[in-house]
């Protein structure tokens, strides 16, 4: 489906329908001084007519531009403009619990991002809530927003974006500007990339909405808390806490004995909490960094299950059912204290705010090589407890998003699966169709995987493999197709088998222009080298990841390969 955005004047809803578009991304802002945009802001009567015609509406805001861009005012401007956007949104009949997209209509530098744009988005989030903060920006700004945790919804534009690249986390993509008219008005065109892209019609209320002034009350699990604060800690140096991580001891200690070991700073290891048999020991103040996850220490809170092992079976873990519930309670309290997401990030992991384990640091952050809490940890049990403590109500059944995706994806063909099937991790659902599958996960939503990609997806272990769950719809390219997953992307060049591109190599390839850049399409998966490095071949060269965040790229030539400087 495609949406229009426009500001010069209003377009009659029947003209939008007749032209074959599904809705509008509307402006809920005033016109700039000296301008008189007829479609800024959208008003209630017009929005009602749009909805009566069956058209979708997404809320967007932009007042200034260029030298007067809204973001140039930093945090205070974010607060100011978000208040206006929210007022116009509600006055026009916009529902609660929908994103409001903030403007970054530029190709900014990293310095501008750090000094002005990130603070602007934090100010915006202070008004509308981080979970409803959207951003209109290029692909690099989306990367920065994800790294800084300042937005949750993304509308990508192409100014400063590598040609042909669509960010895997984008919900909307503005791909054409001022090339056509609808109803006599110049319009921009936008592709919808996800089933929920912020449209008003998808608004749902959270599980619990207490009356004004009333606080949600949940039953705190019973446990004994002991203060054994020691000196095995460091300053966070101003880092924002983004994750609560679980660990195993790989030994037979109690919460108290493990805390005693951690309090000896000569051992160079510590956690914020140790836990066993209903006893929680406070080892490190959570305002400080513990010594548990190397370079990730400054932005994590860490808890260790004393006496536990990564090799445990699911049954072994469920013998600690009460301790898992306590860990969930502590994780939610820390998420509230430090304002990070309570999403449970289960294997195969995706880099984001939330609650996970030490293996997340290894696989998503590429720091270290630990595998705890192990493959059999009951993530579904933890997720239910976290949902209850975060919302005040036990987790209910998932929405029927698979049917919603199937209804707007005619190429899937006839349904094969009767109903939906559960994935082995207990978190996801899937259904088979004539020409593909639809997978759903509570953190990623529902997305269709075409048959052309599904064979490779299955060979890699489905959702339990390196790719994890799909996070975008499949996108047709000029000479192939691509689909984003939690652990990377599958690229399928016409006439070739699908290839996995992921991690730092994928990021570098995107900076070089993806398949439209000098390297062309990937021709083989990355190869692991003996020292832990990785290399991946492309049509016209190779990209090497030497075990750190930086990469090396070489283009093929008749003599020695040609090094390519990184554009970052």
In this structure, how many other beta carbons lie within 10 angstroms of the beta carbon of residue 465? Answer: 16
- Residue 375: is its pLDDT beyond 60? yes
d(CA 521, CA 506): 11
Token pair listed for 493: 């060049």
**What's the pLDDT score for residue 210?**
44
Average pLDDT, the chain: 88
- Residue 61: is its pLDDT beyond 50? yes
d(CA 246, CA 308): 11
- Residue 159: is its pLDDT beyond 90? yes
Query: Would you say 41 and 89 are in contact if contact means Cβ atoms under 8 Å apart?
Result: no
Of 109-113, 387-391, 546-550, 560-564, which range is least confident? 546-550
CA 187 to chain CA mean position, Å: 29
For the residues 90-113, what does the mean pLDDT come to? Answer: 90
- Residue 397: is its pLDDT beyond 50? no
CA-CA distances (angstroms) from residue 405 to 4, 412, 438?
Answer: 21, 10, 8
Token pair listed for 439: 């997978």
**What's the pLDDT score for residue 561?**
72
Share of the chain above pLDDT 90, in %: 55
Name which of 427, 389, 223, 464 is nearest 320 in CA terms: 223
**What's the pLDDT score for residue 563?**
79
- Residue 394: is its pLDDT beyond 70? no
Token pair listed for 13: 């809803």
Strands across the sheet with 300-305, in order? 224-227, 279-282, 273-276, 300-305, 243-248, 354-357
- pLDDT top residue among 498 and 392: 498
For the residues 86-94, what does the mean pLDDT come to? Answer: 87
Confidence band of 500 (pLDDT split at 50, 70, 90)? very high
Considering 311-315, 335-339, 444-448, the range whose residues carry the highest mean pLDDT is: 311-315
Query: Would you say 549 and 508 are in contact if contact means Cβ atoms under 8 Å apart?
Result: no
Name which of 201, 205, 25, 196 is nearest 97 in CA terms: 205
Token pair listed for 322: 């009460």
**What's the pLDDT score for residue 568?**
54
- Residue 221: is its pLDDT beyond 80? yes
- Residue 207: is its pLDDT beyond 70? no
Question: Which segments of 296-383 are extended strands (E)?
Answer: 300-305, 354-357
- Residue 187: is its pLDDT beyond 50? yes
Considering 32-46, 271-285, 386-400, 468-482, the range whose residues carry the highest mean pLDDT is: 271-285
| 122-139 per-residue burial string, b: 16 or more CB within 10 A, e: under 16 | bbbbebbebebbbbbbbb
Query: Would you say 470 and 485 are in contact if contact means Cβ atoms under 8 Å apart?
Result: yes
Q: Which tens digits make up the pLDDT trace of 316-368?
A: 999 999 999 999 999 999 988 888 888 899 888 888 889 999 999 998 888 88
Helix or strand or coil: residue 23? strand
Query: Would you say 49 and 16 are in contact if contact means Cβ atoms under 8 Å apart?
Result: no
* Angle at the Cα of 208 from the Cα atoms of 203 and 214, rounded to 5 degrees: 125
First to last CA, the chain: 33
Helix or strand or coil: residue 45? helix
**What's the pLDDT score for residue 507?**
79
Helix or strand or coil: residue 445? strand
Query: Would you say 14 and 53 are in contact if contact means Cβ atoms under 8 Å apart?
Result: yes
Which residues does residue 501 pair with via DSSP β-bridges, in sequence order? 489
Q: Taking the model in full, what pTM does it have?
A: 0.42
Q: Which tens digits make up the pLDDT trace of 503-514?
A: 878 878 888 888
At residue 475, φ and ψ (nearest 5 deg) are -115, 130
């Amino acid at each position: 489906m495609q949406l229009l955005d426009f500001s010069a004047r209003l377009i009659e809803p029947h003209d939008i329908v007749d032209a074959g578009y599904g809705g509008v991304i509307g402006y809920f802002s005033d016109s700039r001084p000296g301008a008189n945009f007829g479609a800024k802001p959208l008003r209630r009567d017009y929005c009602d007519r749009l909805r009566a015609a069956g058209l979708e509406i997404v809320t967007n805001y932009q007042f200034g531009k260029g030298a007067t861009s809204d973001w140039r005012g930093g945090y205070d401007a974010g607060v100011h403009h978000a208040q206006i956007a929210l007022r116009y949104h509600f006055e026009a009949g916009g529902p609660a619990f929908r994103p409001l997209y903030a403007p970054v209509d530029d190709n900014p530098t990293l310095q501008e991002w750090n000094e002005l744009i990130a603070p602007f988005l934090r100010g915006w989030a202070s008004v509308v809530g981080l979970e409803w903060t959207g951003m209109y920006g290029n692909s690099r700004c989306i990367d920065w927003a994800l790294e800084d945790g300042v937005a949750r919804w993304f509308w990508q534009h192409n100014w400063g974006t590598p040609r042909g690249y669509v960010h895997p986390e984008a919900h909307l993509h503005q791909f054409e500007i001022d090339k056509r008219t609808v109803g006599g008005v110049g319009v921009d065109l936008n592709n919808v990339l996800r089933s929920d892209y912020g449209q008003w019609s998808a608004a749902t209320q959270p599980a619990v909405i207490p009356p004004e002034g009333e606080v949600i009350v949940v039953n705190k699990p019973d446990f004994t808390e002991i203060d054994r604060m020691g000196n095995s800690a460091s300053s966070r140096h101003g880092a924002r806490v983004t994750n609560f991580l679980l660990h195993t001891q790989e030994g037979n200690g109690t919460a108290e004995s493990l805390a005693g070991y951690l309090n000896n700073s000569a051992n160079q290891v510590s956690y914020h909490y140790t836990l066993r048999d209903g006893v929680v020991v406070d080892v490190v103040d959570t305002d400080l960094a513990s010594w548990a996850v190397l370079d990730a220490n400054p932005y994590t809170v860490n808890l260790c299950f004393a006496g536990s092992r990564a090799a445990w079976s699911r049954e072994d873990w469920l013998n600690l059912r009460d301790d898992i519930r306590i860990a969930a309670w502590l994780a939610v309290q820390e998420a509230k204290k430090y304002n990070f997401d309570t999403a449970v990030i289960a294997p195969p992991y995706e880099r984001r705010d939330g609650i996970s384990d030490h293996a997340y640091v290894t696989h998503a952050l590429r720091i270290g090589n630990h595998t705890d809490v192990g493959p059999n940890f009951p993530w579904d049990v933890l997720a239910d407890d976290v949902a209850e403590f975060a919302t005040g109500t036990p987790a209910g059944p998932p929405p029927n998003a698979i049917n919603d995706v199937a209804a707007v994806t005619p190429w899937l063909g006839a349904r094969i699966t009767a109903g939906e099937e559960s994935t082995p991790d207990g978190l996801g659902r899937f259904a088979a169709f004539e020409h593909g599958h639809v997978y759903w996960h509570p953190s990623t939503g529902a997305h269709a995987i075409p048959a052309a990609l599904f064979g490779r997806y299955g060979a890699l272990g489905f959702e339990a493999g390196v790719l994890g769950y799909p996070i975008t719809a499949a996108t047709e390219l000029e000479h192939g197709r691509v689909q984003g997953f939690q652990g990377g992307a599958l690229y399928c060049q016409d006439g070739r088998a699908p290839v996995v591109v992921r991690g730092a190599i994928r990021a570098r390839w995107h900076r070089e222009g993806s398949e439209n850049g000098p390297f062309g399409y990937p021709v083989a998966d990355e190869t692991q080298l003996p020292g832990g490095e990785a290399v991946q071949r492309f049509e016209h060269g190779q990209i090497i990841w030497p075990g750190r965040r930086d990469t090396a790229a070489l283009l093929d030539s008749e003599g020695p390969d040609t090094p390519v400087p990184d554009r970052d």
